[in-house]
Amino acid sequence: MLMFDLNLQSTLKKDRDKLISSKELNAIVEKIFNEKAINISKVKRKLDKPNDSYINSLTFDDIETDKIFHISSIKKLCIKYRLRFLDTHLFKGEYPSELYNIIPQLEAKHQTTLENFKIMAPSKLFRLRTKEDPLLFAPIGNGYYYLVHKWGRDLKSYRRFLVWPFKNVNTLIFTSIILSLISTVFGAKIFNNFSDNELFVIFIFNIKTFVFVTFYLLFMMRKNFNESIWNSKYKN
């Protein structure tokens, strides 16, 4: 029966109105939104600020050890997946909304001010100087970084194999040799009247061709190897 139905929202509102006026409630809500806007503004200023020599100090008992990573591990991952590890003021991607709460909460927890943030992400997410799924880190000294937040989608595991040829000169030459071998075997299957000596000559010719083409394309596209760009603020 309708006369016995209970509207929970109306009941809550009646009880609230006994405790606080609409004017006071508006003032509280406005204060909450103003504080949130101030937090967002402060965090944005930190992220847009160029890094200096400041080292963050965290409370030992509150540190999550699974979020501490040495620069050598970060470098290894960047080279393996062709990523950059750069200051946040070069980052042009979108920060997730929860980050503006995570940083103030982390600062309050450790009773400190966090500075000098760095991000690990693909090159396309940075404003790079022309000579042109992210992880946010804060330095804590001795080459160690504390993972503040991770967002976005995870990288595809096969990215490692796609960018492996561009790890360094040796991997690019090795890839060229493998491609040359595959193309030579494929040609031998189609034209089975080649002698062993002729196949060897074709194989050597293919190696020279693949090496020349790959290095020429790298030069024309002004690209560099993973080991050279992982912490470079320059596009090429």
Per-residue DSSP letter, 158:
T
Binned at pLDDT 50, 70 and 90, residue 118 comes out as: very high
Binned at pLDDT 50, 70 and 90, residue 17 comes out as: confident
Residues 125-157 pLDDT 10s: 887 654 436 888 889 888 888 889 888 776 777
CA atoms within 13 A on the CB side of 198: 7
Is residue 190 a contact partner of residue 213, using CB atoms and an 8 Å limit? no
Distance in angstroms (rounded) separating the CA atoms of residues 81 and 161: 8
User: Which amino acid makes up residue 155?
Assistant: L
Average pLDDT, the chain: 80
Backbone angles phi and psi of 76, in degrees to 5? -60, -45
Is residue 120 a contact partner of residue 76, using CB atoms and an 8 Å limit? no
Specify the pLDDT at position 219: 65
Distance in angstroms (rounded) separating the CA atoms of residues 12 and 4: 17
pLDDT, mean of residues 200-226: 75
C-alpha distances (whole Å) from 218 to each of 95, 110, 163, 197, 223 are: 32, 46, 13, 32, 5
Specify the pLDDT at position 75: 92
The residue ranking higher by pLDDT, 59 or 24, is 59
Specify the pLDDT at position 235: 64
230, exposed or middle or buried, with CB in 10 Å at 0-12, 13-18, 19+? buried
pTM over cut 0.85 = no
Distance in angstroms (rounded) separating the CA atoms of residues 27 and 21: 10
User: Which amino acid makes up residue 42?
Assistant: K
Binned at pLDDT 50, 70 and 90, residue 188 comes out as: confident
Which residues on adjacent β-strands are paired with residue 118?
Answer: 87, 137
pLDDT, mean of residues 157-170: 81
Q: Residue 230: pLDDT above 60?
A: yes
Is residue 76 a contact partner of residue 231, using CB atoms and an 8 Å limit? no
Specify the pLDDT at position 73: 93
Binned at pLDDT 50, 70 and 90, residue 178 comes out as: confident
Binned at pLDDT 50, 70 and 90, residue 190 comes out as: confident
Specify the pLDDT at position 110: 92
Is residue 127 a contact partner of residue 90, using CB atoms and an 8 Å limit? yes
